[in-house]
Chains A and B, each alone.
Chain A
Amino acid sequence: MAERPLLVFRQITKSFGAVRALRGVDLEVRAGEVHALLGENGAGKSTLIKVATGAHAPDSGTIHLAGERLERLDPALARRRGIACIYQQPALFPELSVAENLALRLEPTSAWRRVVWSERRRMAATLLSRIGADIDPEREVRTLSMPEQQLVEIASAMGAGARVVIMDEPTASLTRREQERLFGIVTALRREGVAVIYISHRLEEILTLADRVTVLRDGQTVACHARAEVDEAALIRLMVGREVDQLYPASESAPGAVRLELKGLCCRAAGGRPVSLRVRAGEVYGLAGLVGAGRTELARTIFGLTPADAGEVWIDGSRVSIGSPQAAIAQGVAYVPEDRRRHGVVLELPVGQNISLAAWRRIFPLGWLRGDRERSEAEHFVRALSIKTPDTDAAAANLSGGNQQKVALARWLATRPRVLVLDEPTQGVDVGAKSEIHRLVRRFAAEGMAVLLISSDLPEVLGMSDRIGVMRGGELVAELPQGATAMDVMSAALGQTPSEGAA
């Protein structure tokens, strides 16, 4: 194993608006090693990868490859210098064959070059056999399974002479057998002297595969250790690192009767597993878990977007059946979806119309829309949530992210919900708006709503929740009381037994 580092990042910083995604990351990767990159959601792993592949230019800091400084790195240059990335979702052309896909990346690109098909097929076959993949180069990519497509990606990286291969959660959707085959390929790459940057949430994978581990937290490198120096508990401690350092509004009221109860609820058709939980009136129930743990899927089932095909929902002690969002609204369930920028508000509609969109039945009991009622309703919420907008006729598109999120909240508060499901309510909003939204969520609970708060922001879940449910692989794997530590939550989310029994 060569000791001289092949790829070196020094003090990389990168901000998106007010969000500081990377605030000084150091990373050293050697040729012929598997280097694991670890960190909780939002620690900066994805941003770092994008910097490495040239998709994002860093704000400051340096990148050296084999001793040579890489400046103005762009995707084409990164590829030429031998940095390749295998994403979770392979970016291949589905209608073209494997050989054509490889050729598009690897053959010269002059437009009038003659294509020698036999040569093209031979090259593809050679590359695929080099990584031990048994795939016919003639097959169309859309007929390949996800892991097979990954193999094609790896073959293409090898064909491009990659010296650094980045793998982003490569095993996320693989079966056991496919995983083992992938591990074999990773080991083979290492033998060939390739540096592999391996990103995964599965600690056991990292511990079997990696030579060294770098842990990121809040956009900074907190540690880099050789495999032998760490165990699972140590890694979790490094990822979590700090206690809640922000102030969160305190719970104002004692929880009341059980408002929402799920009994083995799931939508099998959408790949869900049964989940049972109870949320009391006035309670904020946090749902923690890694991205992809099935929290959004559960929320969509509760709201009737993917209607449940098993289990029961009980609200205020009576069983309800929710087969559609309309039924959910009628039962007093409100869902503020994640990814507000895309679907939380209707960007073209004015603020006022956005607010009355779901609650028109209550606001306009006679069936037709009255401008005066709409305006007074909207103005009420603009004041109550301090939404910053010139007036209620301004298009939602003109508002800032935090204010759009408040409009989305207002739309659902207008329906006077009994159960409020919030999916990543503060994702991508600035700090000020974030703490305002926290304050509002507390107030809604104090008004008697049962709040289900999905958040990947660990301090937020810890600070806001009266109880925390942790999901993994579509199931509720732990329920933790208020005062649980980040360590407890991460352990459950990663599937480790906590060091101290938190029973």
Chain B
Amino acid sequence: MNRWIRELSVLGVLGLLLALLAWRAPAFFQLQPLLSLLAREAPALVVACGVAMVILVRQIDISVGSQFSVCSVFAGVLAAAGWPLAAVVPVAVLAGGSLGLVNGLLVAWLGLPSIVVTLATLVALRQGLNLVRQGEFVNLPERIQWLGLPQAQGQWLLITGAVALLALLAWGLRHLAVGRWVYAVGSDAEAARLAGIRPRWVTLVTFVLMGALTGIAAVMNVVQSPQVQPLTGSGLELKAIAAAVVGGVAISGGRGSLWGVLAGLLLLACIAPAMVHLRIDAYWEKAIQGLIILAAVMVEGVRQRRNHGR
């Protein structure tokens, strides 16, 4: 299928990497380490879905890392205060959604550039958190560890939950009118407006949705460790944006799919453990990730050049 060519090509590269590992370092394929790796990436996947949707409407949100920290600490504090998980999740979603609402209103209604707005909220949220918490760790109660399940089961649940969430969002993008609008606004906001779509409203919804997803991701993060450290989530924005771009979401908006984001995130996540297994110096990790991102952007650039040359 021509339509999925971009996603399939990322899967192809991932396949090559896995084949190389199977040949040179079959130890990579032990169940428990793999499970841990994927469970650790599950929150990032959820965040990356949100970021991808924001990129699809031709915006960007670099404050996800800070939103993630705030939501994680908040969820941790609530859990430590004895709240049951069933109550912590909706409150975390609400908190994330409100942070998204602030970004969304500033971008969609005041028309401010999203890179600057979210740079400001990135710094403000991070510093605000430091101010309130003074760098304190949150010690979490035993009962919420792995959602109260044995570790392996908890990990499976987190992984399948994240993928199920992605599948739901991907379905919505393809089969709900608002999903269609996301693509239309990202391709050409003025054309969308002329077609009776409200670009500002669509933009706002994606920011709020992204915040809510960050709230969910924060809970998925919290249940994986005995404490929440205040620096959790720093650098997450780069990881999420990188996964989206590698997975074929056009940074200029309007094109890409969440399945591509999944492929992109898997590829990037496998680099570090693969290097350990292949005995390559760990300092190469970031360089290789950077090269992959560069390659993805170049593929995109060539494609756009070809389209415009027509």
Residue positions of A touching B, CB distance < 8 A:
305, 324-326, 328-329, 335, 337, 342-349, 353, 357-358, 360, 364, 367-370, 393, 397-398, 411
Least Cβ distance of B80 to chain A in Å? Answer: 41
Q: Are B194 and A305 in contact (CB under 8 A)?
A: yes
Q: Are B176 and A368 in contact (CB under 8 A)?
A: yes
Q: Are B191 and A346 in contact (CB under 8 A)?
A: yes
Report if A357-B184 is in contact (Cβ < 8 Å); known contacts: A325-B194, A328-B196, A345-B191: yes
Q: Mark B181-203, 1 if CB is under 8 A from A, else 0.
A: 00110011011111111100000
The CA-CA distance from A3 to B176 in the complex, in Å, is 72
Residues of chain B lying within 8 A (CB to CB) of residue A329: 196
Least Cβ distance of B204 to chain A in Å? Answer: 16
B307 at the interface (CB under 8 A from A): yes
Q: Are B177 and A343 in contact (CB under 8 A)?
A: no
Q: Are B194 and A337 in contact (CB under 8 A)?
A: yes
Q: Are B196 and A344 in contact (CB under 8 A)?
A: no
Given A335-B194, A342-B191, A364-B177, 8 more contacts at CB 8 Å? Answer: A326-B196, A346-B191, A348-B183, A358-B196, A360-B177, A360-B180, A393-B3, A398-B310
Q: Are A347 and B188 in contact (CB under 8 A)?
A: yes
Report if A346-B192 is in contact (Cβ < 8 Å); known contacts: A367-B177, A369-B174: yes
Residues of chain A lying within 8 A (CB to CB) of residue B279: none
B254 at the interface (CB under 8 A from A): yes
The CA-CA distance from A326 to B191 in the complex, in Å, is 14
The CA-CA distance from A364 to B255 in the complex, in Å, is 23
Residues of chain A lying within 8 A (CB to CB) of residue B176: 367-369
Residues of chain B lying within 8 A (CB to CB) of residue A347: 187-188, 191
Task: Name the residue of chain B whose CB is nearest to the CB of A329.
Answer: B196
Q: Choose one: B183, B195, B198, B254; the contact of A358 (CB below 8 Å).
A: B195
The CA-CA distance from A360 to B180 in the complex, in Å, is 10
Task: Name the residue of chain B whose CB is nearest to the CB of A369.
Answer: B175
Task: Name the residue of chain B whose CB is nearest to the CB of A411.
Answer: B195
Least Cβ distance of A446 to chain B in Å? Answer: 25
Q: Are B187 and A348 in contact (CB under 8 A)?
A: yes
Residues of chain A lying within 8 A (CB to CB) of residue B180: 353, 357, 360, 369
Q: Are B177 and A342 in contact (CB under 8 A)?
A: no
Task: Name the residue of chain A whose CB is nearest to the CB of B188.
Answer: A346
The CA-CA distance from A370 to B179 in the complex, in Å, is 13
Residues of chain A lying within 8 A (CB to CB) of residue B197: 357
Report if A342-B190 is in contact (Cβ < 8 Å); known contacts: A349-B184, A357-B180, A369-B177: yes
Which of A326, A343, A345, A367 has the most CB atoms of chain B within a 10 A radius of its CB?
Answer: A343
Q: Are A344 and B191 in contact (CB under 8 A)?
A: yes
Report if A349-B190 is in contact (Cβ < 8 Å); known contacts: A329-B196, A358-B195: no
The CA-CA distance from A124 to B146 in the complex, in Å, is 75
The CA-CA distance from A305 to B307 in the complex, in Å, is 30
Residues of chain A lying within 8 A (CB to CB) of residue B254: 346, 348
Query: What are some 28 contacts across the A-B interface (CB < 8 A)?
Result: A305-B194, A324-B198, A325-B195, A325-B196, A326-B196, A342-B190, A343-B188, A343-B190, A343-B194, A344-B194, A346-B183, A346-B188, A348-B254, A349-B187, A357-B195, A357-B197, A358-B196, A367-B177, A368-B175, A368-B176, A368-B177, A369-B175, A369-B179, A369-B180, A370-B175, A397-B307, A398-B310, A411-B195
The CA-CA distance from A335 to B3 in the complex, in Å, is 31
Q: When A and B form their complex, which 6 residue pairs have the shortest distance between CB atoms, in order from nearest?
A: A348-B187, A343-B191, A325-B196, A329-B196, A357-B195, A343-B190
Least Cβ distance of B260 to chain A in Å? Answer: 16
Residues of chain B lying within 8 A (CB to CB) of residue A344: 191, 194
The CA-CA distance from A405 to B81 in the complex, in Å, is 62
Least Cβ distance of A314 to chain B in Å? Answer: 21
Least Cβ distance of A467 to chain B in Å? Answer: 26
Residues of chain A lying within 8 A (CB to CB) of residue B175: 368-370
The CA-CA distance from A349 to B3 in the complex, in Å, is 12
The CA-CA distance from A476 to B248 in the complex, in Å, is 51
Residues of chain B lying within 8 A (CB to CB) of residue A398: 310
Task: Name the residue of chain A whose CB is nearest to the CB of B201.
Answer: A326
Q: Are A348 and B255 in contact (CB under 8 A)?
A: yes
The CA-CA distance from A337 to B196 in the complex, in Å, is 12
Task: Name the residue of chain A whose CB is nearest to the CB of B193.
Answer: A325
The CA-CA distance from A197 to B223 in the complex, in Å, is 77
The CA-CA distance from A484 to B196 in the complex, in Å, is 36
Least Cβ distance of B155 to chain A in Å? Answer: 33
Residues of chain B lying within 8 A (CB to CB) of residue A328: 196
Which of A305, A343, A346 has the most CB atoms of chain B within a 10 A radius of its CB?
Answer: A346
The CA-CA distance from A370 to B198 in the complex, in Å, is 22
Least Cβ distance of B262 to chain A in Å? Answer: 22
The CA-CA distance from A459 to B307 in the complex, in Å, is 36
Task: Name the residue of chain B whose CB is nearest to the CB of A361.
Answer: B177
The CA-CA distance from A347 to B198 in the complex, in Å, is 18
Q: Mark B208-232, 1 if CB is under 8 A from A, else 0.
A: 0000000000000000000000000
The CA-CA distance from A364 to B190 in the complex, in Å, is 24
The CA-CA distance from A398 to B310 in the complex, in Å, is 8
The CA-CA distance from A411 to B195 in the complex, in Å, is 8
Which of A349, A364, A393 has the most CB atoms of chain B within a 10 A radius of its CB?
Answer: A349
Residues of chain B lying within 8 A (CB to CB) of residue A357: 180, 184, 192, 195-197
The CA-CA distance from A353 to B177 in the complex, in Å, is 10
Residues of chain A lying within 8 A (CB to CB) of residue B194: 305, 325, 335, 337, 343-344
Least Cβ distance of A378 to chain B in Å? Answer: 13
Residues of chain B lying within 8 A (CB to CB) of residue A343: 188, 190-191, 194
Q: Mark B112-138, 1 if CB is under 8 A from A, else 0.
A: 000000000000000000000000000
